Structures are given as C-alpha cells and as structure tokens.
Amino acid sequence: MQSLIVAHGVADFRSEISDLRLLISDLRSQISALWLGLVVGLVLCGSDHLAVAQEPPRSVVDVTATDHPNDVGTTIDVSWTLSPDDDLNIESPVVSAYHVLRKQDGDVDFVKIGEVPSQTETFTDQGVQRKRAYRYQVVTVGPGGESTPVETNETVTPIMEWFRTDRGWLAVIVLVICGAVVAFIAIAKSGRELYIRKIPGLEAVDEAVGRATEMGRACLFVPGIQDINDIQTVAGITVLSRVASLTAEYGARLEVPTARSLVMTTARETVEASYLAEGRPDAYREDDIYYLTDEQFGYVAAVTGTMTREKPAACFYMGAFFAESLILAETGNAVGAIQVAGTAQPSQLPFFVAACDYTLIGEEFFAASAYLSGEPVQLGSLRGQDVGKLLVAALLLIGCGAATWVEVNSSPTAVSVMTYLQNNVLGSGGFLP
C-alpha cells in the first residue's frame, strides 16, 4: 500500500518539471511585455442595432467542427462566428444562448447536445465515439425564438493520437533530466569519485543528538504533516534513518509523533532498521513512534504539549510544514532545544530560518539522503540534478537573450526564435513551429 502511494507521489515529479517550465516561461514573459500584450478581438458586428425583440435572432456564421487534438478520439471542437444580433451594445438582448445539435452517421435527426450562453463562440463535445462520423448544427436562441440552424459543411471523424505532441518538448525535458540522473548514477557505480559540498544543517544533526545524549534528554523528530505520498515526507524519513542511527549509537531516546498513520508505519520500519544496523535492536521502542491526528492544529497542540512537558534537548523538523512551523519552532526555542529544520515549503522557510539553529533549504533537504548515506550511487543523482539546473539556466539565458533582442531590434529571426521557445518548447505547440 505504502509503495503505491509513494509511487503516486513521486510520479508527480513530471508535474514539477512542467511547473518548472511554466515558471521559466513566465520569467521571460515578464521581460518581454510585448508577448503578453496580445489582445484577441471578438468578432462583433455592431452594425444592426434595430433588431426587433419579438423576432427570432439571426443565425451564426461559419460553423466548423474539428477533431480535438491529442486525445483518445472522444472529443470534437465546434466553433462559429457570433450571430450579428449577439451584441453587448444592444440594450435589450436579442440573443440569450446558442444550442448545439449533433447527428451521427446513420441517424436521421439532429439531437441537442449542449447549450452555451451568448458571446460564446466554441463548444467542446466530449460525448463522441472514435471512428464515427458526425455533423453539427448551431441554433441561435433569444426571447423572440430560435434562428434557422446552421450546419457544418463536412462531417468530422474523431481519431486517437498515439502521442501527445503538445507535450512533446516536456517529454524531451523529462528524458534529458532523468537521463542525466541515470547516467551519473551509472558513472558513480563505475567507481569515479564525486564531490559534494558541506551542508552545515546536516553536520548539525550529529551535534544535536550528541548534546541530547549528554543532557540525558530525548530527541524529537517531526516528519512534517503530510502523508507518505509527499516527496518531502520521504526525504524527511531518510534524515530520520540517520538520526535513529545516531540515537542508537549514543543511547539517546528518540520520539517521533506523526500526523499520518502511514507515516507512522514507515517511520517505525525505518527506525527499527537503523537500530538493527547499529546492533542495538533491544533499544528500539516502537511506542515512541506514534500517530496523533490528521488534524493540523490538533497535531500541533499535542506536539507542543509534549515539548513543554518533556523538554527535548534536540528537535528536528524535516518534511512538509504549513502554519504550524513557527508554533513548533518557537515552542522548541522556548524550551531551549537545539533545532534543525528542513523543508521544501518555500512559504515556511523564513519561519524556520528565524527560529531554528540550522535550516536545510529546499534542494539541500532533498540532497540529504545522498549526503548522509555517502553512497556513490546516491551522489550520482545529485550530479544529474545539476545537469537539470544547467538546462534550466540555459533556457533562461536563451529566453532572456531572445526577449531582449526582440525589444532592441525586432528582426524576424529573433521573433521566430522567441515565438518557438514560448509556444513550442515551453508552451503546448508541439515540435513543429
């Protein structure tokens, strides 16, 4: 069960990459205000303001139906040009809605399948079957009645695409980043040394557990308030295994309150494994790793209560945190604990930085497992991550350069580079311009 849920969580990383792409896209778009200034004008024929309310409105023009791209063949897009009577400037509206009707090959009559309000020019029909031919009609409706229907000129047959070309570039970026990670893991396996800089926050873990042992007090580990499907919780559990090894070695007590039952079972497995590895299975106390409640503030109340009563000497906050971050860290500070935090929750980082002794910021936190294990295979993944960073930096530079070039000298080449980057590489335009 855990593995399925973890898989669900980790698979989301392609959304993160997609998010990343969008962020880069945004950054450039801010530089080039030109590209944001595209205004799509509505086709309004405001010539006739004399329509009589009692008469049916005039029909729409040019009804077209096209197969919806990049789907399994179950959607058709219908579009039209607004009825000349659909004018916002007319005081009493002549058009209230458009009805869309459909006929499947072999059928005799058109059947109404949907309705959209006035000023709408498109309708998406998601109720069609693959490889069947369809025709559409659009009827303008108003207080005066219905217009004559306008039909599509040709039939349209939806088909299934095998690959989503609109996400082609995303697939390439995913492949490059994942490929780099896999490649560097392979290189590391071959025995090449890889350098990793010192991370003070992780060095502090040893110091904190040592101090707790000297003082004869417990260490408190909070693995965030999210479930095991959140990759930050997985990263937190990795740090927990290191903390557990140290408490096993030094003979300090380790307490882990969790806000999710699945995190509790995972934490128990991990801590038990660390105690076994240190040769101290007898010192492992399952009851010190317990579930409190899923409720955010109920959990905070219980953990801060434990802190005030038991006064742990070291507190670790490693995982996904929200509003509770500062409440926890300030309480820890008040009881005089040495505190180390790690999270990839940007909104909570300032609170931890202000109230804790050491904070692992964002990617440092994810680098923890590689750093702590020291295994070459894990270090390889960090190097792969750097390739991703280079790719992002390159895209940013090219994008910013092209945007500036367009601003200074709007040559057709610069514009086409810019457009391709914006719409295809970072947008959903696919491979072809």
Partner 1 sequence: MYEFLKNLDRRWIFLLILLAVAIPILGEWQFPEKPSPMVQSVFDAIENLPAGSDIWMAYDYDPGSQGELHPMALAFTRQCAFKRHKMYFMTLWPQGPPMIQKNIELLIKEFPDLEYGVDYVNLGYRPGYEGPIKLAVIDLRKTIAADVDGKSLDDLPMTRDFKNIQEVDLIVNVSAGYPGTKEWVLYASTSYNIPTVAGCTGVQAPYLYPYVPQQLDGLLGAIKGAAEYEFLLLEAYPSLRENPKAQEALRRMGPQLLAHLVLIGLIVAGNVIYFVGRSRGDV
Partner 2 sequence: MKRTVPMVIAAVTGFVLIVSYFIPLTEEWGSIAMQWFNVLAAIAFVLGGSNLMRMNLQKISDRRPGWGYAAVTLIAFLVTLCVGLLKVGVQPTESFPTNAWAAPYNQEGSFLWWLYEYMYKPLQATMFALLAFFIASAAFRAFRAKNPESIALLATAFIVLMGRTYVGGLMRDVLPASLEWLSFDSMTNYIMSVFNLAGMRAITIGIALGVASTSLKVLLGVDRSYLGAGDE
Segment lying near partner 2 (by CB under 8 A), choices 34-42, 85-93, 171-179, 423-431: 171-179
DSSP assignment string, 56-120? PPPPPEEEEEEEPSSSSS--EEEEEEPPTT--TTSSS-S--EEEEEEEETT-SS-EEEEEEETT-
Strands 254-258 and 219-222: parallel
Q: Could you say which of partner 1, partner 2, none residue 71 binds, taking C-beta under 5 to 8 angstroms by partner kind? A: partner 2
Give the list of residues 6+ apart from residue 229 with CB closer than 8 angstroms, or none. Answer: 5, 6, 8, 9
- Exposed e or buried b for every residue in 356-379, given b needs 16+ CB within 10 A? bbbbbbeebbbbbbbbbeeebebb
Residues that bind partner 1 (CB under 8 A): 8, 15, 18-19, 22-23, 25-26, 29, 36, 97, 113-115, 117-120, 124, 126-127, 226-227, 229-230, 294-297, 320, 322-323, 334, 346-348, 428
Taking CB within 5 to 8 Å according to partner kind, which of partner 2, partner 1, none is near residue 169? none
Is residue 10 involved in binding partner 2 (CB under 8 A)? yes
The dihedral region occupied by 427, where left means phi > 0, alpha psi between -120 and 50, and beta the remainder, is beta
Residue showing tokens 């095991």:
228
Query: 147 is in the binding site of which of partner 1, partner 2, none (Cβ under 5 to 8 A by kind)?
Result: none
Say which entry of partner 1, partner 2, none residue 192 contacts (CB below 5 to 8 A, set by partner kind).
none
Q: H-helix or E-strand containing 64?
A: strand 61-67
- Residue 223 contacts residue 244 (beta carbons within 8 Å): no
Residue from the set 55, 93, 116, 290 that interacts with partner 2 by CB under 8 A: 290
127 touches, from partner 1, partner 2, none (C-beta below 5 to 8 Å by class): partner 1
* Stretch binding partner 2 (CB under 8 A), from 114-122, 143-151, 356-364, 417-425: 356-364
CB 113 within 8 Å of CB 86: no
Interaction partner, residue 14 (partner 1, partner 2, none; CB < 5-8 Å by kind)? partner 2
Q: Nearest to residue 370, comparing CAs of 229, 194, 228?
A: 194
The residue assigned the tokens 């294990």 is 373
Among 167, 211, 253, 311, binds partner 2 (CB under 8 A): 167
Most distant pair of Cα atoms in the chain: their distance: 92
Choose the binding region for partner 2 from 110-118, 202-210, 378-386, 404-412 (rule: CB under 8 A): 378-386
Q: Which does 201 bind (CB under 5 to 8 A by kind): partner 1, partner 2, none?
A: none
Looking at beta carbons only, is 133 or 392 nearer to partner 2?
392
Closest CB 117 distance from partner 1, rounded Å: 4
Q: Which CB sits closer to partner 2, 42 or 377?
A: 377
Q: Please tell me whether residue 424 binds partner 2 under the rule CB under 8 A.
A: no
Among 70, 155, 419, 424, binds partner 2 (CB under 8 A): 70
Residue 22: count of CB within 10 angstroms of its CB: 12
| Cα–Cα separations (whole angstroms), residue 385 to 17, 197, 360, 380, 394 | 12, 14, 17, 9, 14
Q: Tell me whether residue 56 or residue 319 sits nearer to partner 1 (CB atom).
A: 319
Phi, psi for residue 177 in degrees, rounded to 5: -65, -45
Among partner 1, partner 2, none, partner that 269 touches (CB below 5 to 8 angstroms by kind): partner 2
Helix locations, 38-195, DSSP H: 168-189
Considering the complex, state which of residue 120 and residue 155 has its C-beta at the smaller distance from partner 1: 120
385 part of the interface to partner 2, by CB under 8 A = yes
Residue 25 binds which one of partner 2, partner 1, none, with CB within 5 to 8 A depending on kind?
Answer: partner 1
- Looking up tokens 């003082």, which residue turns up? 215
Site for partner 2 in 263-282 (CB under 8 A): 264-266, 268-270, 272-273, 276
Instruction: Tell me the chain's radius of gyration from C-alpha atoms.
Output: 30
Please identify, using beta-carbon distances, which residue of 395 and 406 lies nearer to partner 2: 395
Amino acid making up residue 40? V
Q: How far is the CB of 190 from partner 2 (least distance, A)?
A: 15
**Structure token digits, residue 305:** 């209560």
| Residue 390: CB minimum distance to partner 1, A | 21
Q: What is the torsion angle, in degrees rounded to the nearest 10, for the CA atoms of residue 138, residue 140, residue 145 and residue 149?
A: -30
29 binds partner 2 (CB under 8 A): no
Which of 33, 36, 53, 182 lies at the binding interface for partner 2 (CB under 8 A)? 182
Backbone region of residue 145 per phi and psi (left: phi > 0; alpha: psi in -120 to 50; beta: other values): left
